[in-house]
Amino acid sequence: MPELCARLEAAALSLTGPGHIKERLFDAYCRYLHGIDQSDLPAELAAEFGDMIQALHRATALPGDDVVKASVRKLSNDQACHYAELVIRLYGMTAGMSHHVAARNARPVVPLAMYMASEASSNS
């Protein structure tokens, strides 16, 4: 999960950078999202991610062109924004799940005052 979360974070940051939304989506997919398995994602958004992957591989590429680049060019700006928002939602959910798992596995935190009181009473 940490690698998945890091990849989604990088993709989310890439989507918020400068440039046209379609260019940012292409960059985010090629650099960070390519190869993410739908089954590794939260169930609520996995099918939508699968739909995005299909849409990014739908167009026929001309010789010397990339199928993802050709597919992104054919998207409307609204579709590109929708997929960018999906990546942001996926990152948010994954980061929240990662934080929840880490918190569950962490040792309980003992406030310093309680620790010092305990130490003082054991030394008496």
> Residue 18: what are its φ and ψ, rounded to 5°?
-75, 160
Spans in the chain with pLDDT lower than 70? 1, 97-124
Question: pTM for this structure?
Answer: 0.75
- Considering only CA atoms, give the Rg of the chain: 21
> What gap in Å lies between CA 51 and CA 63, rounded to an integer?
25
Q: Report residue 124 as tokens.
A: 């008496």
pLDDT at 114: 53
* Domain extent listing, the chain: 2-123
> What gap in Å lies between CA 22 and CA 28, rounded to an integer?
10
Helices 77-105 and 21-28, interaxial angle, to 10°?
40
Q: Hey, how many other C-beta atoms are within 10 angstroms of the C-beta on 33?
A: 22
